[in-house]
Amino acid sequence: MSMRESSAFALLSLWLSRGDRFRKISFRRWIPALVVATSALALFWTYAVPQLARFRFRAGLSRYDMGWYGFGPTRNYVSFGEESPIIEISPAGAQCDPRYTFLAPRGDSVVHPGPMILDAAGELIWTKPNWGTTQDFKVQRYKGQDYLTYWQGDEEDGHGRGSWYMLDSTYTIRHIVSPSGIIEGDLHDFQITSNNTALITAYEPIPYDLTSVGGPEFGWLYDGIIQEINLETGELLFQWRSSSFYPPESSYEPMGGKGHERTLGYDYFHMNSVDKDDRGRYLISARHTHTVTCVDGTTGEVLWSLGGKDNEFFDESDGAATQFAWQHDARWQSPNTLTLFNNGANAASDSSSISHGVLLKLDIPARKAKVLTSYDHPQELMVVSQGNLQVLDNGNVLVGWGHSAAFTEFSPNGTMLCDVHFGASAYFTFGRIVSYRSFKNNWIGLPDTIPDAAVTRESVFVSWNGATEVATWRFQAWDGADLNNMTFGTIKDVERTGFETEISFTPDLKSYFRVVALSSEGAVLGITEVLQRGTAPMEDTFTLDHSWRVAIVLLFVLCCLTFGLYFAISRVLRYQRSQRDMSYRPLSHKDENEDDPENGLGQLPI
Ligand SMILES: *[C@@H]1O[C@H](CO)[C@@H](O)[C@H](O)[C@H]1NC(C)=O
Ligand SMILES: *[C@@H]1O[C@H](CO)[C@@H](O)[C@H](O)[C@H]1NC(C)=O
Ligand SMILES: *[C@@H]1O[C@H](CO)[C@@H](O)[C@H](O)[C@H]1NC(C)=O
């Protein structure tokens, strides 16, 4: 935008300076010039200034964070068709938790959104391109076994219509879970309890008189529903509706013309997490009322509300414990402590508040609350939506920054240990790469596929999407004996070097070969197809990062526009000149200046 305008200005001044050479001001030129300049300024003000204001350039940003490598730098593979993010870990030499990271990156800079596992160094472990939106990807335990769980479906107006998926260690979908009744599963939360039941969130539009909050009398309200269901049978064990306990007046969300249609209800509550403790108390986070609600597990009565207009707690931390806003992910940590991710900032009001994770201590009988620890990002991120906080089993705390492509690990006292970015932080407010939540966990993946391989003339590239246990790749060549019952002899073992490993051929490799995946104990985990040395030259593995492709296309378009503009203007000028030359030539005594007919024209009254 700004570049196009600056070139337009350059052209304009060039044009004007031609007249200036003769120190005579032409109004005929100045008026259109002023019009052009004013419109350019107006355009700049309307389109470029708000965007520029959203950049979060800070002193000392790394090249990565300034976008030197793109909004969300990614890498490609030869043997695998998907990309994975290139991450940046800071501070230098940071000791990050060695477990795997579970993300679901999506946004304009993400080519194939879906669930993704990375190792602590950012190497890809597993990804799966999914249709629609994938959210809340994590490991959960069900009946003593670990499952990968995520929500998948269509996102609509801030909530979702979809189902929850449970994948076993072979990445096979074992359960697809939907709410009980006609409502569809919402993208915000799916928690498997220690009793092997599932807690889920759902949004249901209900008819509602919204006149008390300036809406229509025969309007529509999004009711926030939690259900606890039996995962085996789908039986509904418990249900709670926000509309029975919180009126629309509790909300901070502007009505904004909503509430007239069933498909565009007034989202006054916006429930985004549900948790349950061993005493059977539910804990519900509602973004649009700024409340954390404790609900009795048998009666469904609200035991207390923390935060928002219905706050019952005295704040012993000068507002920090109760004045959270647009928050996410409220979780029990003990009978009287809880954690949450306080967004503070909100897209609608474009607040400049800073987001952070907090650990709160409650004195429930005395209705007092205080902040025990705050988990703050060193770059003071302003996370307008999403985000989560996970307490790891070593007591450290992982904060996922949702709308900002980052997750950060803290020691229990709030000291930052390791900050990981999977997008350039200067552009975080544009939300080009987001992950609703980020988690760390152990995981053993034993895919029921075979390893992928891509053969070139000099080497073979091997990878195995989802396999966590491969330590070594064993390269084996056919012994040339029996084509109908092939036997292979080991040529060499190559240590796995990351998601993809390149194995170069030995000069004497004649024909068929295969690659065997071995565990650290030497057990065979999988074998590639029988492969043959490639005859084509080394495949051109140079592929441009997506963002750079976009940047190059933009640059090209800008160049075309500039040249187009230049040629258009010079054509018009030449045309005008020739017209004037024709009309005024007879009046001139002598044609001193062939290129500038304005010489005579400037004196004419306009
Ligand atoms: C699990 O079930 C027991 C017995 O019904 C109950 O007391 C407990 O609160 C339940 N825990 C959760 C997390 O649902
Ligand atoms: C916080 O904990 C870290 C170790 O986890 C320690 O090095 C640091 O000194 C502690 N800071 C404070 C203020 O207690
Ligand atoms: C293939 O060869 C192996 C050993 O080289 C042998 O044990 C096996 O019986 C053979 N199979 C067939 C179908 O010939």
Q: How many A from CA of 296 to the centre of ligand 2? A: 37
**Could you give the number of structural domains in the chain?**
4
* pLDDT 10s digits, 436-469: 999 999 999 999 999 999 999 899 999 999 999 9
Looking at the structure, tell me whether residues 271 and 238 fall in a common domain.
yes
Looking at the structure, tell me whether residues 178 and 282 fall in a common domain.
yes
More confident residue, 351 or 487: 487
Reply yes or no on whether the pLDDT at 500 is more than 50. yes
Q: Which domain holds residue 518?
A: 452-532
Domain assignment of residue 541, yes or no: no
Domain assignment of residue 137, yes or no: yes
* pLDDT 10s digits, 283-329: 999 999 999 999 999 999 999 999 999 999 999 999 999 999 999 99
Looking at the structure, tell me whether residues 464 and 603 fall in a common domain.
no
pTM: 0.83
Q: How many A from CA of 399 to the centre of ligand 2? A: 18
Domain boundary (477, 498, 532) is at 532
SS3 assignment, position 237? strand
Looking at the structure, tell me whether residues 266 and 146 fall in a common domain.
yes
Domain boundary (532, 555, 580) is at 532
User: Dihedral (C-alpha) 419, 422, 423, 424: value to the nearest 10 degrees?
Assistant: 40
Q: Strand locations in 386-467, DSSP E?
A: 388-391, 397-400, 406-410, 416-421, 439-441, 452-455, 459-463
Nearest CA to ligand 3 atom 3: 485
Is residue 170 within 8 Å of 178, Cβ to Cβ?
no
Looking at the structure, tell me whether residues 116 and 168 fall in a common domain.
no
Looking at the structure, tell me whether residues 177 and 306 fall in a common domain.
yes
Q: What mean pLDDT do residues 22-48 have?
A: 80
Domain assignment of residue 103, yes or no: yes
Looking at the structure, tell me whether residues 137 and 244 fall in a common domain.
yes
Number of Cβ within 10 Å of residue 24's Cβ equals 14
Half-sphere exposure of 40 (CA within 13 A, CB side): 18
Under 8 Å CB-to-CB from 435, ≥6 apart: which residues? 103, 104, 105, 106, 386, 400, 402, 405, 407, 422
Domain boundary (251, 282, 312) is at 312
pLDDT at 593: 42
Nearest CA to ligand 1 atom 11: 278
Q: For the purposes of burial, counting CB atoms within 10 Å of the CB of 179, is it exposed (0-12), middle (13-18) or buried (19 or more)? A: buried
Separation between Cα atoms, residue 320 and residue 476, nearest integer Å: 63
pLDDT at 598: 41
Looking at the structure, tell me whether residues 343 and 275 fall in a common domain.
no
Nearest CA to ligand 1 atom 1: 195
Is residue 265 within 8 Å of 248, Cβ to Cβ?
no
Average model confidence (pLDDT) across the chain: 88
Ligand nearest to the CA of 412: 2
Ligand nearest to the CA of 479: 3
Percent of the chain with pLDDT over 70: 87
Looking at the structure, tell me whether residues 157 and 297 fall in a common domain.
yes
Residues within 6 Å of ligand 2 by CB: 411, 413, 415
Q: Measured in whole angstroms, how far is the alpha carbon of residue 190 from the centre of its chain?
A: 19
* pLDDT 10s digits, 240-281: 999 999 999 999 999 988 999 999 999 999 999 999 999 999
* pLDDT 10s digits, 39-49: 999 988 887 77
pLDDT at 31: 86
Looking at the structure, tell me whether residues 436 and 578 fall in a common domain.
no
Domain assignment of residue 64, yes or no: no
Domain assignment of residue 355, yes or no: yes
Domain assignment of residue 456, yes or no: yes
Reply yes or no on whether the pLDDT at 566 is more than 90. no
Nearest CA to ligand 1 atom 6: 280
Domain assignment of residue 246, yes or no: yes
Burial 154-173 (b: 16+ CB within 10 A, else e): ebbebbbbbbbbbbbbebee
pLDDT at 16: 52
Q: Is the CB of 487 under 6 A from ligand 3?
A: yes
Residue 571 parent element (H or E): helix 546-584
Separation between Cα atoms, residue 533 and residue 470, nearest integer Å: 23
Concatenate the DSSP letters of all residues of 36-83 into one string. HHHHHHHHIIIIIHHHHHH----TT--HHHHTTT-SS-EE--SS-S--
Q: How many A from CA of 331 to the centre of ligand 2? A: 24
Domain assignment of residue 156, yes or no: yes
Separation between Cα atoms, residue 289 and residue 270, nearest integer Å: 8
Q: Which two tokens stand for residue 194?
A: 């220690």
CATH number, domain with residue 460:
2.60.40.10
- Asked if residue 91 has a cis previous peptide bond (ω within 30° of 0), the answer is yes
Looking at the structure, tell me whether residues 291 and 340 fall in a common domain.
no
Ligand 2 atom with minimal separation from the 414 CA: 1
* pLDDT 10s digits, 329-363: 999 999 999 999 999 988 776 667 899 999 999 99
Of 28-37, 192-201, 355-364, 414-423, minimum mean pLDDT range = 28-37
Ligand nearest to the CA of 414: 2
Pairing of β 472-478 and β 512-518: antiparallel
Nearest CA to ligand 2 atom 14: 413
Looking at the structure, tell me whether residues 136 and 277 fall in a common domain.
yes
Q: What mean pLDDT do residues 111-115 have?
A: 94
